[in-house]
Amino acid sequence: MINSQEYIDSGVLELYVYGTLSEAESREVTRLIAEHPELLVEVERIEKGLQQLSNATAPYTPSDFKSIYHKIKTQNGENVIPLSRKRTPLTSYLGWAAALVLLAGLGYQFAQNKKLEDKITDIQREQVLQEGRTQMTQERLVQTETLLDALRNKDIITVPLKAQEIAPDAYAAVYWDKDASKTYVDVRGLPQPPKGKVYQLWSLTLDPLTPTNMGVLDQYDTRGTQLFEIDNPNTSQAFGITLEPKGGSDTPTLEELYVLGVVEP
Amino acid sequence: MQPDQLIEKFQQKDESAFAKIYELYSESIFGIIYSVLHNQELSEEVLQDVFLKAWNNAASYTPEKGRFFTWLLNIARNAAIDKTRSKAFKNSKQNQNAAYFVDILEEKSSFSSRIDAIGIKKYIEVLEPICKKVIHLLFFKGYTQKETAEALEIPLGTVKTRNRICINKLREVLDIK
């Protein structure tokens, strides 16, 4: 027995409708569907959604059935012209023999051709895959270059944030582009936040000490660079990072201050 | 609902059943082919070939192997990929770079009355970039999970569930629950 909901949630039924499972896997899914009607309901909904989606990508409604009907009629209509002339047995056997040799030759050629075509399909698929990879790499490169350009800007202010008592090895840095009111925060040196907690960045003015929330640092980008780009319109004199409950807090929890750094005047 | 009786009749070479099958599936299949070829004329040609092939090999469909729609999909994807090898395709001025289905949808101004155009438009708006890629490869191109994971450089184990999330969003906007 399987748990239907878990099975549905695994996403296997979508792949079943796509036709990207192996034949054995598909047969297994078909077998389970026959046993569990709720799986059939789900499959039909998925199929309905996909039909709508692919339907929408059609440039227009294709021509009606008539043209294809015409084709199935004509493909069956090829008549063979009968041979009425009598031949001597020997020549007719020779004719058959020649035809057989030719047929065998053709069959061989056909098989070879098929092999080559399969190979081409494989190569083309590989090429499409490769193009996908190249595209992803290029996207990343552009991202990285943009970041690098930002960090190399001569007007950027670097503020190292030093460890506080709570985690003596922690380290972070803020790169602040005052003109563009942007900061880049590098948090690679912070320990992994415990479950249910997030790091939150604060801009501080010192006299009197006033913290301004700059946002929680929980949306790590997929590349794992752990660099955040955050707008900073504040006249910051220092930056600090605290550990806060999920979602962030309105005021910093100072007992959980991880790193702190003052902007050099 | 999959029209099982209709399919059976189609397999027994009933021409009126074939006409209905064509009516039901031709536009989605046309969409799949067009998303590979980006050329209307060639796509129509392939569409006809696909249904001709389906008719001639109707007996080879068995429900144990999967959905009828899936069976047609596979024929269509293969035929479309075959067509990309043809001279006609190579000479066509269409953009042969792998454009996403979303690009087609964005360019399109009018939709067939059969689809929920508002829903589809809304879907394109809310679709995350990763969904765009996952659906493109798995559904439109027929990639396996492994190929998709490699092409997108995401862990193999996340392909299935990631795709489910993307398709759930589609069903949500189209109100198929």
What SS3 class is residue B51? Answer: helix
What SS3 class is residue A230? Answer: strand
Contact at 8 Å (CB) between B100 and A128? no
Share of chain A above pLDDT 90, in %: 34
Centre a 10 Å sphere on the Cβ of residue A97 and count the other Cβ atoms it contains: 10
What rounded mean pLDDT belongs to chain A?
Answer: 85
Which residues of B, range 56-115, sit inside 8 Å of A by Cβ? 56, 63-67, 69-71, 73-74, 81-82, 84-85, 97-98, 101, 104-105, 108, 111-112, 114-115
CA distances from B30 to A142, A229, B3 (A): 36, 44, 20
Looking at CA atoms only, how far is residue A45 from chain B in angstroms?
6
Q: What integer is the mean pLDDT of A180-205?
A: 88
Q: Which of A177-181, A191-195, A216-220 has the lowest mean pLDDT?
A: A216-220
Share of chain A above pLDDT 70, in %: 91
Q: Which of A84-93, A130-139, B140-149 has the lowest mean pLDDT?
A: A84-93
Which pLDDT does position A27 carry in this prediction?
94
Q: Amino acid letter at B164?
A: R
Q: Which residues in chain A have Cβ-Cβ distances shorter than 8 Å to B51?
A: 68
- Residue B56 Cα to chain centre, angstroms: 21
Which pLDDT does position A222 carry in this prediction?
42
Mutation to test the B interface, candidates A31, A57, A130, A221, most B Cβ within 10 Å = A57
Given a cut of 50, whether residue A81 has pLDDT beyond it is: no
Of the candidates B34, B84, B142, the beta carbon closest to that of A59 is on: B34
- Which helix (H) or strand (E) is A14 found in, with range? helix A12-18
Sheet strand arrangement including A210-216: A210-216, A197-205, A238-245, A257-262, A157-163, A172-177, A182-186, A227-231
User: What is the residue-level pLDDT of chain B in tens, covering all 177 positions?
Assistant: 578 899 999 999 999 999 999 999 999 999 999 998 988 899 999 999 999 999 999 999 999 999 999 999 999 999 998 998 888 888 776 555 556 787 888 777 777 777 777 888 888 888 888 898 999 999 999 999 999 999 999 999 899 999 999 999 889 888 887
Exposed/middle/buried for residue A145 (C-beta within 10 Å: 0-12, 13-18, 19+): exposed
Q: Which pair of structure tokens corresponds to residue A88?
A: 């001597």
How far is Cα B39 from Cα A56, in angstroms, rounded to an integer?
15
**What region does A123 belong to: left with phi over 0, alpha with psi -120 to 50, or beta?**
alpha
Q: Does B164 touch chain A (CB under 8 A)?
A: yes
Q: What integer is the mean pLDDT of A15-37?
A: 94
Given a cut of 50, whether residue A82 has pLDDT beyond it is: no
Phi (first) and psi of residue B151, to 5 degrees: -65, -35
How far is Cα A19 from Cα B78, in angstroms, rounded to an integer?
12
The 8 Å CB, 24+ separation contacts for A12-15 are A12/B160, A13/A39, A13/A42, A13/A43, A13/A46, A14/A46, A14/B138, A14/B160, A14/B163, A14/B164, A14/B167, A15/B138, A15/B145, A15/B160, A15/B163
How far is Cα A170 from Cα A69, in angstroms, rounded to an integer?
74
Contact at 8 Å (CB) between B63 and B106? no
Q: Which residues in chain B have Cβ-Cβ distances shorter than 8 Å to A124?
A: 81, 84-85
Nearest CA in chain B to A65: B19
pLDDT band with cut points at 50, 70 and 90 for residue A225:
low
Which residues of A, range 52-111, sit inside 8 Å of B by Cβ? 52-63, 65, 67-69, 71-72, 75
Of the candidates A19, A59, A71, the beta carbon closest to that of B40 is on: A59
- The residue ranking higher by pLDDT, B8 or A1, is B8
Q: What integer is the mean pLDDT of A124-153?
A: 80
CB-CB under 8 Å, B139 with A50 = yes
Residue pairs between chains A and B whose CB atoms are closer than 8 Å: 192
Nearest CA in chain B to A18: B139
Q: Which of A64-68, A145-149, A172-176, A206-210 has the lowest mean pLDDT?
A: A145-149
pLDDT in tens, B70-102: 999 999 999 998 998 888 888 776 555 556 787
pLDDT in tens, A249-263: 999 988 899 999 999
Q: What integer is the mean pLDDT of A33-45?
A: 94
Q: What integer is the mean pLDDT of A171-176?
A: 91
Q: What integer is the mean pLDDT of A133-160?
A: 82
Mutation to test the B interface, candidates A13, A42, A43, A53, most B Cβ within 10 Å = A53
Q: Amino acid letter at A40?
A: L
Report which DSSP code applies to B113.
Answer: T
Looking at CA atoms only, how far is residue A40 from chain B in angstroms?
9
Taking alpha carbons only, the member of A140, A136, A131 closest to residue A221 is A140
Q: Which residue reads 């059939």 in tokens?
A: A40
